[in-house]
């Protein structure tokens, strides 16, 4: 069955032949049909995204149909090899289309090959694929198109994505056991509070035993959840929905990005990863002949943090006015550790700024890796201790009144 006749609304940003910017909406049966309609009106599409209200099951389906990090690493690595072998870009994409196992990525590659044949640049084809390719990918490829080192950039993207996948994999695998323990504890605590405590409450009430504070709290909590559990569940769902909608806004994303920089444990991992990405990208862009101010502007869109994007824009403007990079980044100590401006100043003095960025990338990449290992080693025992204390309090809330009850009987 073909459901393409069902109209959907898409928001587009495009340029006319005269270079005039247009932003508006178009109705079509699919994203491809919307693109064809706009192309038929001689519009050069910059972005095209659904304007339909996202439903919760759409988010669920998009999660299961997403392109996984592993698939992206393989795609980028293979593309780098094919480009190094001097294969034309559209031929490389068609070859990857036949080899890719992920259905979503396969459809994406096919559409990209079609766009390349239609005359679009590689970065533009990536940008048209919605959330498949991170902004980091798009901006790096756009810079590669300027410098002409696309295969080198693809190799860097594959290395970097693989490195991030290893770091995330380490953290996830190390946290599986504590998370399972936490979930089991929550389930046991819920059963005790909602089902067990209400059964023994009449015994304590009739005996007139003076109950400890923890027992009173748990008994009252059990009564409340027994009567109003559905209200609690609905409220939790509504609050979660409001929260996720908020962090998708510009203000919410800025708050979330700021939290990643300010929160004590998270910033120990996040900051080194951002500085490593910044330094690696700067090294490649400078190596490709991109002016430093333009490179910084490009990197601002690659880091994946709206606060860094604004800071990089300000830094780029300062560079265009003749200020040194080391002096400009030193104005933001919360976002650039002191080592960064010091090392950059050395690079500016010696004329070896490219090599300095390479060393910064290596140093902070290693620091992120080591920090993840240390935090994971610290979190596991602390989490187990906290759960042990919680379990002890849970059972003490039952055993202490029973002990008092037996004493009163004697």
Nearest C-alpha neighbor of 152 from the set 284, 281, 291: 284
Least trusted range by pLDDT, from 38-52, 147-161, 308-322 = 38-52
pTM greater than 0.75: no
Q: What does the pLDDT read at residue 113?
A: 87
Q: Residue 54 and residue 58: Cα distance in Å, rounded? A: 6
Q: What does the pLDDT read at residue 127?
A: 79
Q: What does the pLDDT read at residue 186?
A: 85
- Judge contact between 273 and 368, C-beta under 8 A: yes
More confident residue, 377 or 50: 377
β partners of residue 9: 27
- Region 112-137: mean pLDDT is 81
Least trusted range by pLDDT, from 38-47, 265-274, 358-367 = 38-47
Q: What does the pLDDT read at residue 7?
A: 60
Sign for the pseudo-dihedral over CA of 138, 144, 145, 150: negative
Q: What does the pLDDT read at residue 59?
A: 46
Q: Residue 128 and residue 110: Cα distance in Å, rounded? A: 13
Indicate if the pLDDT at residue 67 is higher than 80.
no
337-360 pLDDT tens trace = 999 999 999 999 998 998 999 999
β partners of residue 13: 23, 47
Q: What does the pLDDT read at residue 408?
A: 66
More confident residue, 31 or 10: 10
Question: pLDDT exceeding 90 applies to what percent of the chain?
Answer: 11
- Region 199-203: mean pLDDT is 78
Q: What does the pLDDT read at residue 342?
A: 94
**Residue 30 pLDDT level (bands cut at 50, 70, 90):** low
Mean pLDDT of the chain: 81
- Region 99-128: mean pLDDT is 84
**Residue 153 pLDDT level (bands cut at 50, 70, 90):** confident
How many CB atoms within 10 Å of residue 114?
16
3-state secondary structure of 15: strand
**Residue 52 pLDDT level (bands cut at 50, 70, 90):** low
Indicate if the pLDDT at residue 65 is higher than 80.
no
Q: What does the pLDDT read at residue 4?
A: 41
- Region 211-222: mean pLDDT is 83
β partners of residue 22: 14
- Region 98-124: mean pLDDT is 84
247-272 pLDDT tens trace = 878 788 888 888 888 888 788 888 98
Q: What does the pLDDT read at residue 410?
A: 56
275-316 pLDDT tens trace = 988 898 888 888 877 888 888 888 887 777 888 989 999 999
Nearest C-alpha neighbor of 353 from the set 264, 292, 307: 292
β partners of residue 45: 14
Least trusted range by pLDDT, from 5-14, 191-200, 323-332, 333-342 = 5-14
- Region 211-236: mean pLDDT is 84
How many CB atoms within 10 Å of residue 308?
23
Indicate if the pLDDT at residue 81 is higher than 80.
yes
More confident residue, 386 or 59: 386
- Judge contact between 128 and 35, C-beta under 8 A: yes
Q: How far is CA 50 from CA 54, 172, 179, in A?
A: 9, 32, 36
The helix, strand and coil proportions of the chain, stated in percent and rounded to the nearest 5, come to 75, 5, 20
Indicate if the pLDDT at residue 122 is higher than 80.
yes
**Residue 57 pLDDT level (bands cut at 50, 70, 90):** very low
- Judge contact between 369 and 167, C-beta under 8 A: yes
- Judge contact between 130 and 49, C-beta under 8 A: yes
Length of the chain: 410
Indicate if the pLDDT at residue 158 is higher than 60.
yes
Q: What does the pLDDT read at residue 56?
A: 44
């Amino acid at each position: 069955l073909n459901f393409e006749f069902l109209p959907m609304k898409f928001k587009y940003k495009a340029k006319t032949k005269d270079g005039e910017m247009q932003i508006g909406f178009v109705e079509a049966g699919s994203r491809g049909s919307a693109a064809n309609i706009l192309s038929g009106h001689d519009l050069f599409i910059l972005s095209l995204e659904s304007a339909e209200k996202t439903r919760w099951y759409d988010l669920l389906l998009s999660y299961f149909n997403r392109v996984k990090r592993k698939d992206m690493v393989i795609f980028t690595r293979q593309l780098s090899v094919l480009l190094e072998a001097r294969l034309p870009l559209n031929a490389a994409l068609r070859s990857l289309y036949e080899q890719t196992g992920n259905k979503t990525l396969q459809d994406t590659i096919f559409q990209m090959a079609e766009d390349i044949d239609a005359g679009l640049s590689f970065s533009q084809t990536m940008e048209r694929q919605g959330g498949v390719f991170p902004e980091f990918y798009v901006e790096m490829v756009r810079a590669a198109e300027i410098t002409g080192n696309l295969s080198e950039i693809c190799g860097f993207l594959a290395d970097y994505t693989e490195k991030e996948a290893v770091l995330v994999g380490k953290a996830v695998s190390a946290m599986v056991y504590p998370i399972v323990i936490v979930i089991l504890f929550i389930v046991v605590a819920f059963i005790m509070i909602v089902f067990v405590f209400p059964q023994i409450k009449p015994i304590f009430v009739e005996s007139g035993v003076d109950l400890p504070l923890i027992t009173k709290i748990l008994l009252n909590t059990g009564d409340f959840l027994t009567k109003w559990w559905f209200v609690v569940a609905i409220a939790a769902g509504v609050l979660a929905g409001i929260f996720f909608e908020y962090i998708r806004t510009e203000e919410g994303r800025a708050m979330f990005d700021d939290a990643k920089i300010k929160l004590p444990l998270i910033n120990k991992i996040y900051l080194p990863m951002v500085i490593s990405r910044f330094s690696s990208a700067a090294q490649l862009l400078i190596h490709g002949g991109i002016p430093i101010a333009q490179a910084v502007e490009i990197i601002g869109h690659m880091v994946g943090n709206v606060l860094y994007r604004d800071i990089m824009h300000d830094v780029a403007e300062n560079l265009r006015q003749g200020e040194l990079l080391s002096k400009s980044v030193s104005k933001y100590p919360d976002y650039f550790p002191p080592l960064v401006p010091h090392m950059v100043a050395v690079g500016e003095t010696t004329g070896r700024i490219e090599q300095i960025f390479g060393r910064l990338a290596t140093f902070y990449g290693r620091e992120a890796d080591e920090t993840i290992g240390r935090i994971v080693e610290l979190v596991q025992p602390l989490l187990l201790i906290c759960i042990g204390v919680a379990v002890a309090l849970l059972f003490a809330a039952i055993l202490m009144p029973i002990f008092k009850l037996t004493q009163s009987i004697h």
